[in-house]
Chains A and B, each alone.
Chain A
Amino acid sequence: MKTWLLLLAIIATNVGNILADEVDYLRDVKPILMEKCSSCHGALKQESDLRLDSGLLIQKGGASGAVIEPGRASASRIFQRVIDADPDQRMPPADGFGEPLNTEQIKLLKNWIDQGAPIPEEEPPPADPRNHWAYQAPRKQAPPGSDSENPIDRFLQMRRQPMGIRPIEQADRPTRLRRLYFDLIGLPPSADQLNSFADDDSPEAWNKLVDDLLAQPQYGERWGRHWMDVWRYSDWDGYQQELRGSQRHIWHWRDWIVKSLNDDKPYAQMIVEMLAADESAPKAPEALAATGFLARNFHKGNRDIWLDATVEHTAKAFLGMTLNCARCHDHKYDPISQKSFYEFRAIFEPHQVRTDRLPGQANIQIDGLPRAFDQDLSAQTFIYAGGDEKNPLKDIEVRPNVPSILGGQYQVQPVSLPIESWFPAFRQFVLAEERSKLKTTRIQTERKLKESAPHRIEPIHSIEYSILALEYAVASLKLHSFDSRCAAEKARLYQLKAADVTARQAAKDERKLQIKTAELALARKQLELTQAQTAEPNDVPSQQKLIDKLSKEFAALETKLNSTRTEFEKDDNQFTPLGDTYPKTSSGRRLALARWIASKHNPLTARVAVNQIWMRHFGAPLVENVFDFGLRSPVPRHAELLDWLAVEFMEHDWSMKHLHRLILTSKTWQLASTSGSEVAEKNRELDPENAFYWRADVRRLDAEIIRDNVLAVAGQLDLKLGGPDVDFKQGETSRRRSIYLRHAYEKQMRMLVLFDTANPNECYRRSESIIPQQALALVNSGLCQEQSRLLARQIWASVTGSDSQKVQGFLVSAFVRILGRDASKEEINNCLEFLDRQAVLLSNPERLTEFTHGQPAAVAPSEDPQGRARENLIHVLMNHNDFVTVR
């Protein structure tokens, strides 16, 4: 992508050089007017009855007459208005983001008018944005060709044929196998797996292999990472211990993603759960974890940033819509009004994030479930004039709604929530765990009391004994009070007749507990005081000071005890609730949104998802801008294919695995990435960019997969699934898959960052950079060097025969294990020569220059020069281009 961006930048730069030349309306002027003017003077809106989206309409002028005087820019209203020094008069209006034309744009406009404002004779009439391809429901048209072939191949063939493009041959089996393993599970095939497939190359064997890999739990990890990019997964972010963004324990959402993919949960259901599991499945903690999608947007300091991000990325991720461009003004290109942005925001306005307790862990700092819920059903949304939060338009009512351009029904039904949801402290397991904790304490205090008999003579011992007795009494009363609070809560919840009586009892039991607690505090203080009074004085004044202080504290505690005793006489029903309660009703706004998005009638949802999946299989998407299917997104070249896949996806209950199977069993996916054939030669001329998929694209592995691959080829990868995030600083030493390393703003493993890991803030598509620091990471990281040593030793231990047979066997095996392919003769020869020379070199270490500053090796290099040469060789192969490349 970068390269074409650069090319465009170059084209844009060139514009400067042709200023003096003839200005072309279509090429030079129209794009400026479309960008700067058409949202108010175009098909959707015609301020002052003026449209500037076609040459004829510009000539026609508006309510106040002509806007151009051909040949005289300075006398033309349109020119006067764009250069007006008064910001209130200048167009486009300075509503905060209405940026004036830049000098080059002004020059182009001026020169065009001065040159007579010529327009082409046949300018296509301006299109109505409502007719934009992506806003029409996808239609499934029958693919041409034989039904026995994969529809993907047939649609692509339909486009290739008229161009004279023919696909090249299939990739050889090891290449295809390695490609498939990395694609589906993100791990390389073992030598055995390569061999077993080599025996059977039938389509049935291939289909079975695809099924087998889709059934492996590593599929969920591999594709989970893809969707984590799109859904902006971020572990908690903060300054020291302070949480500033996302949420602690958000990894529950990550595990939900992995599991949902492994279960092939319908994508539509995934959308519903991520946006509104608290409304659709309020009792199911495993579904609630999905609302991490919302919780991830948490922003400590600023609710506007939080909700802006929620709006922007919900629209981009699921709908390929740049709703965020309508925050400050109507969308410049798409038929989305500014109000529409705030209506979408209103859907999320009531929601907040909280952390629910999970079974087995009472401390939510250690673990818990971050989740969304509706906190304030009356929260209002205001349009911010010009996007300025200091300037809310309080007179305009903003009701929750979805952009009307996509059609469909947005129907909000409030959801009444079960007790578990609005009163999480009253869940069975919480009550049981709390009670058992109190009971354990009671048993412990009882045991301690019994073990300590009151037979000592010293008065101080009798204080100690009474403390033990009070501790037991307090523990017993705590349990008792808990039980009566539970009974009272229950009676109140179910509106039992006895509600008031039980509440009074609970309140009374609490007051009893308070007395005992106060007595215990007093006894403890008395012990301290007695100890201070009877201690051998080292320093008399300071001891006296201590005694005075303790006496004062003792007196205070005595007063407190007396007041609790007085309190005891009270008779009310005010007991301490068991925990926080939340609203009993949820607005239903998000559920309505989720259902509208996940509807088969939404023209964008399936297309956007299919495009993402396609891109991650082929390296290039069908729709270039994966998060913007708006008007700047032209009809894709393979539109019929995209639509067919989108409908197929929906018809198969939104099954991603179904799409994977379709794609991976196509001939197109299995093509070679290069060929010396004449067909290829011709294709390169006709379609150098491979827009017609006549070959596979060579791709680099994703950052996480590169690190996993290092561990995997050495047989050291820990395949444990799920769980809390691993500190990113352990990336060099941990054996876990990279998906589990902490991933947040300023909290990412350096090696992954160097290899273009997802920006946790936004990453709808990864870049594939090639920079020298990547080379340094693979060359000098302890991880790579140590894993190469381990691998070299394993391979060497597995080869047999004469010395030269062993070396041969070592090399053959090394290429297969690390690069997934056989070595060529020339490669073998180079490696043999290297092994010999390196062994000689290393036999005379005293002549060599040693690096003495780096980290010491956790796995030391071999003492034997030949062994060390072999380790070097393995390390070289881990740095080979093909190690990080899929062909």
Chain B
Amino acid sequence: MNKHTKPTDPDHTRKTNRREFLENTGLGFGSLALASMLGKDRLATGDEISNNIPGPHFAPKAKSVIWLFMIGGTSHLESFDPKPALNKYAGKTIAETPFGGVLDSEFLANERVVFVDPNNGFIRKTCYPMQVGFQRRGKSGLEISDWWPHVGNCADDLCLIRSLWTEDSNHGAQLQFHTARHRVDGFFPTIGSWATYGLGSFNEDLPEFIVLGTPLADCCGGQEAHRANYLGPQYDGVPMVVDPVKSMPYITPQRGTFAEEQQQKFALLGKLNRLTAAQSRDDPMIEARIRAYELAFRMQTAVPQVVDLNRETQATRDAYGIDQQETDTFGRQMLTARRLVEKGVRFIQVYHGSNGGAGGWDSHQGLKSSHTKLCRQVDQPIGALLTDLKQRGLLDETLVVWATEFGRTPGSQSKNGRDHHPYGFTIWMAGGGIKGGVAHGATDELGFHAVENRHYVSDVHATVLHQLGLDSERLFVPGRKRLRKEIGNPIREIIA
């Protein structure tokens, strides 16, 4: 066992021969053998898939993941899981329907209440009818609500998973969806950080795990929903803003700085650091720091470029709904997500619905008006993303996941809203080697409990990791316990 704390380094797997490194870097700035420095795509190294790295564990189906997260809890009953019984028994109590047994189910015990919120997080007992119609869409005939017309157009690429459940009946479930641990258990590595920990990067000038959209509020997990915790900060999601001027913290040089001036400074820094490196045989960090500076320099150019959507055609911009009031923000994020995939970014996590608190989708009242508005913000951009990826031949190797922390109660709250519902809800996946046009799992007649092919949130993680060529069970750090429920199981039935 090594007694020392070793630096963690963007290239944690390869021991470059020291002399070779100095010779390479000695050639001067910009002529580096980048592949070896950045832990370049391990997938691309083919027969080199070896034992001396955490992953991949087997041949992958997907290279990148776009993870869309709706903050606040999107109603499954008005989106992807129609329940005619709710219309039939509207206004009746659940006990008065033939399905009153849902209130005695053993599944209710899965809820872990920690903060008792006197207003929210209760089982609502009066059936509330669906607020929108559903149509069968595509050849597959998947039933999708009328609030999702563009996503519905891609029905044959979607795999709906209608049988998710989680534990937290409050918005700590947002964090739980990313760590598979209850909010009160603390903070743990998130799905994006496990993916990048397992695989490393396959691009040369961008972070491997990027976050778009305003993150969760600190009530509900905050930045911890895209952090790596004990895996180390190099696996944290890096928040990025779709604005070339302020895309990342510290990415923009002060006003009045000249590009050429800065380039010379980086060049001098490289020279001085290499002189020092030659004198410091027993310093394991200096090489990594030289590389970090070189990556930082490229990021300064690459990051603003990748978020510069003026490089896209008008037709593309229009398809994503850019410059239309409702869809502009999310449209830009979706288009950026596609551009990041093209650049080889491993994991892109996009938040929607941030409002500084529980989240915009949290429709305790006025569900119809809030959901129509929010769906309009995201539907067209998501549809455009799926179509665009497909047209460019990228959907096969890009796994798109659409998720939310929980569904909403079959019963009404405040007359025209629905409460939090952790017992059964829907998420979907598309591309990345997942079957299209499929609905997997089911809730009961009221949409209350997931009853068929039940999946806790970590099964989503295990499936994502599986498509990336990673076995969730083999991802762990000695000394850090991962609970069985955190590890999850890939949903084999939906893998193409």
A residues sitting closer than 8 Å to B (CB atoms) are 1-10, 12-14, 16-17, 97, 99-100, 102-104, 239, 301-302, 305, 619-621, 624-625, 637, 673-674, 676, 680, 684, 689-691, 695, 697-698, 700, 745-746, 750-751, 753-754, 756, 761, 765, 767-777, 779-782, 785, 824, 826-827, 830-831, 834, 837-838, 841-842, 845, 848-857, 860-861, 868, 872-873, 875-877, 879-882, 885, 887
* 12 pairs from A and B in contact (CB 8 Å cutoff): A2-B6, A7-B2, A99-B483, A239-B218, A674-B280, A674-B281, A746-B222, A754-B233, A771-B10, A771-B233, A880-B273, A887-B280
B51 lies within 8 A of A851 (CB): no
B4 at the interface (CB under 8 A from A): yes
Q: Which 4 A-B pairs have the closest CB atoms?
A: A775-B296, A3-B6, A853-B245, A772-B296
Residue-wise, chain B 233-270 has the 8 Å CB interface mask toward A (1 for contact) of 11000100000111011111111111111101100110
A831 lies within 8 A of B275 (CB): no
Closest chain B CB from A628 CB (angstroms): 8
Partner of B260, one of A10, A97, A772, A848: A848
Known: A3-B2, A770-B285. A860 touches B245 (CB 8 A): no
Closest chain A CB from B10 CB (angstroms): 7
Q: Which residue of A lies closest to B474 (CB)?
A: A13
Known: A853-B245, A881-B286. A770 touches B292 (CB 8 A): yes
B95 at the interface (CB under 8 A from A): no
B8 at the interface (CB under 8 A from A): yes
Q: Which residue of B lies closest to A634 (CB)?
A: B1
B250 lies within 8 A of A852 (CB): no
B184 at the interface (CB under 8 A from A): yes
B132 at the interface (CB under 8 A from A): no
Closest chain A CB from B405 CB (angstroms): 17
A848 lies within 8 A of B8 (CB): no
A824 lies within 8 A of B269 (CB): no
Interfacial chain A residues near B479, Cβ < 8 Å: 5, 625
CA distance A746 to B222 in the complex (A): 7
Interfacial chain B residues near A12, Cβ < 8 Å: 474, 476, 478
B289 lies within 8 A of A851 (CB): no
A619 lies within 8 A of B254 (CB): no
Interfacial chain B residues near A104, Cβ < 8 Å: 473
Q: Which residue of A lies closest to B478 (CB)?
A: A8
B249 lies within 8 A of A750 (CB): yes
B residues sitting closer than 8 Å to A (CB atoms) are 1-10, 12-13, 51-54, 57, 114-115, 184, 186-187, 207, 217-219, 222-223, 232-234, 238, 244-246, 248-262, 264-265, 268-269, 271-273, 275-277, 279-286, 288-290, 292-293, 295-297, 299-300, 473-474, 476-479, 483-484
B261 lies within 8 A of A838 (CB): yes
B256 lies within 8 A of A239 (CB): no
A620 lies within 8 A of B3 (CB): yes
CA distance A698 to B477 in the complex (A): 25
Partner of B285, one of A8, A700, A877: A700
A10 lies within 8 A of B53 (CB): yes
CA distance A754 to B484 in the complex (A): 31
Interfacial chain B residues near A848, Cβ < 8 Å: 258-261
B250 lies within 8 A of A773 (CB): yes
Known: A673-B282, A698-B282. A841 touches B261 (CB 8 A): yes
Interfacial chain A residues near B245, Cβ < 8 Å: 853
Closest chain B CB from A677 CB (angstroms): 11
Closest chain B CB from A620 CB (angstroms): 5
Closest chain A CB from B288 CB (angstroms): 4
Interfacial chain A residues near B477, Cβ < 8 Å: 5, 9
A856 lies within 8 A of B5 (CB): no
Q: Which residue of B lies closest to A6 (CB)?
A: B12
Closest chain A CB from B281 CB (angstroms): 5
CA distance A1 to B4 in the complex (A): 6
Interfacial chain A residues near B186, Cβ < 8 Å: 761
A691 lies within 8 A of B3 (CB): yes
Given contacts A768-B8, A876-B265, 20 further A-B contacts (CB under 8 A): A2-B232, A3-B8, A14-B51, A239-B219, A619-B4, A689-B3, A773-B248, A776-B249, A841-B264, A848-B258, A848-B259, A850-B259, A853-B255, A854-B254, A854-B257, A861-B256, A872-B261, A876-B268, A881-B276, A881-B277
Known: A9-B54, A853-B255, A880-B276. A100 touches B296 (CB 8 A): no
CA distance A302 to B289 in the complex (A): 43
Interfacial chain A residues near B299, Cβ < 8 Å: 772, 776
B114 lies within 8 A of A302 (CB): yes
A881 lies within 8 A of B289 (CB): yes
Partner of A841, one of B115, B256, B260, B292: B260
B218 lies within 8 A of A826 (CB): no
CA distance A876 to B54 in the complex (A): 36
A852 lies within 8 A of B255 (CB): yes
A880 lies within 8 A of B478 (CB): no
Interfacial chain A residues near B483, Cβ < 8 Å: 97, 99
Interfacial chain A residues near B51, Cβ < 8 Å: 10, 13-14, 17
CA distance A841 to B262 in the complex (A): 11
Q: Which residue of A lies closest to B5 (CB)?
A: A1
A834 lies within 8 A of B268 (CB): yes
Q: Which residue of B lies closest to A848 (CB)?
A: B258
CA distance A882 to B186 in the complex (A): 36
B264 lies within 8 A of A834 (CB): yes
CA distance A491 to B13 in the complex (A): 76
CA distance A615 to B295 in the complex (A): 31
Interfacial chain B residues near A830, Cβ < 8 Å: 268, 271-272, 275
Closest chain B CB from A38 CB (angstroms): 16
Known: A761-B187, A774-B292, A838-B264. A851 touches B256 (CB 8 A): yes
CA distance A69 to B253 in the complex (A): 71
Question: Looking at A767, A830, A848, A861, which has the most chain B CB atoms within 10 Å of its CB?
Answer: A767
Known: A698-B282, A769-B232. A5 touches B52 (CB 8 A): no
CA distance A666 to B222 in the complex (A): 46
CA distance A772 to B51 in the complex (A): 27
Closest chain B CB from A529 CB (angstroms): 40
Known: A13-B54, A625-B479, A881-B289. A780 touches B254 (CB 8 A): yes
B296 lies within 8 A of A689 (CB): no
Q: Which residue of A lies closest to B267 (CB)?
A: A834
Q: Which residue of A lies closest to B357 (CB)?
A: A239
Closest chain A CB from B305 CB (angstroms): 13
CA distance A540 to B279 in the complex (A): 92
B252 lies within 8 A of A624 (CB): no
Interfacial chain A residues near B276, Cβ < 8 Å: 880-882
Q: Which residue of B lies closest to A638 (CB)?
A: B3
Interfacial chain A residues near B222, Cβ < 8 Å: 745-746
CA distance A301 to B284 in the complex (A): 45
Partner of B272, one of A700, A872, A880: A880
B253 lies within 8 A of A771 (CB): no
Q: Which residue of A lies closest to B185 (CB)?
A: A305
Partner of A849, one of B12, B246, B259: B259
A850 lies within 8 A of B8 (CB): no
Interfacial chain A residues near B300, Cβ < 8 Å: 776, 780
Known: A239-B218, A697-B4, A853-B255. A16 touches B474 (CB 8 A): yes
Q: Which residue of A lies closest to B279 (CB)?
A: A674
CA distance A761 to B185 in the complex (A): 12
Q: Which residue of B lies closest to A239 (CB)?
A: B219
Known: A97-B483, A772-B299, A776-B251. A853 touches B234 (CB 8 A): no
Question: Looking at B186, B217, B268, which has the most chain A CB atoms within 10 Å of its CB?
Answer: B268
A673 lies within 8 A of B280 (CB): yes
B273 lies within 8 A of A854 (CB): no
B272 lies within 8 A of A827 (CB): yes
Closest chain B CB from A243 CB (angstroms): 13
Interfacial chain B residues near A695, Cβ < 8 Å: 282
A620 lies within 8 A of B8 (CB): no
B114 lies within 8 A of A851 (CB): no
CA distance A879 to B269 in the complex (A): 7
CA distance A872 to B112 in the complex (A): 56
Known: A770-B7, A772-B10. A756 touches B233 (CB 8 A): yes
CA distance A416 to B261 in the complex (A): 71
CA distance A775 to B291 in the complex (A): 10
